[in-house]
Copies of this chain bind each other. A is one copy, B any other.
Amino acid sequence: MTTRVITLKELAAGLDLSITTVSRALAGHEQIALKTRERVAQAARQAGYVPNTAARTLVSGRSGFVGLVLPIRGPNLVDSFLGEFVTGLGEGLVSHGADLILATAAFGHSELSVLRHVVESGRADGVVVTRIAEVDERLAYLRERGFPFVAHGRLLDSEFGYNWLDTDGAHAFGEAFDMLYDLGHRHFGLVTISELMTFRHLRQDGLAAAIARRGDPSVRLDVVTAPRFDHEARIQAVNRMLQRPDRPTAIVALFDELALTVMEEAARAGLGVPRDLSVIGFDNIAASGYAPPGLTTFDASIRQCAREIADMLLTVIAEKPAEPLTRLIRPTLVARASHGPAPRTTS
Contact = CB atoms under 8 A, between A and B. Distances in A.
Interface of A: 1-3, 5, 48, 50-55, 57-58, 63, 65, 70, 73, 78-84, 86-87, 90-91, 93-95, 99-107, 116-117, 120-123, 143-146, 260, 285-287, 289-292
What is the count of identical protomers in the complex? 2
A120 B121 CA distance: 22
Given A52-B122, A99-B102, A287-B287, A82 B79 contact: no
A198 to B, nearest CB: 22
A289 B76 CA distance: 14
Contacts of A86: 70, 82-83, 86, 102
A99 B101 CA distance: 7
Contact of A143 (B1, B63, B121): B1
A54 B54 CA distance: 4
A125 B23 CA distance: 25
Contacts of A52: 58, 121-122
A104 B90 contact: yes
A336 to B, nearest CB: 13
B63 A87 contact: no
Contacts of A5: 120, 122
A141 B43 CA distance: 21
B99 A93 contact: no
Given A50-B116, A120-B48, A286-B78, A95 B106 contact: yes
A93 B104 CA distance: 8
Contacts of A94: 103-106
Contacts of A106: 94-95
B99 A3 contact: no
Nearest to A98: B104
A144 to B, nearest CB: 6
A146 B99 CA distance: 24
Interface centre among A1, A65, A120, A146 (most CB of B within 10 A): A120
23 contacts: A48-B116, A53-B63, A53-B121, A53-B122, A54-B57, A54-B63, A54-B122, A55-B58, A65-B101, A70-B87, A78-B286, A79-B80, A80-B83, A82-B82, A82-B87, A86-B102, A90-B103, A95-B107, A99-B104, A99-B123, A100-B104, A101-B102, A285-B286
Nearest to A114: B94
B91 A104 contact: yes
Contacts of A57: 53-54
Contact of A50 (B83, B93, B120, B286): B120
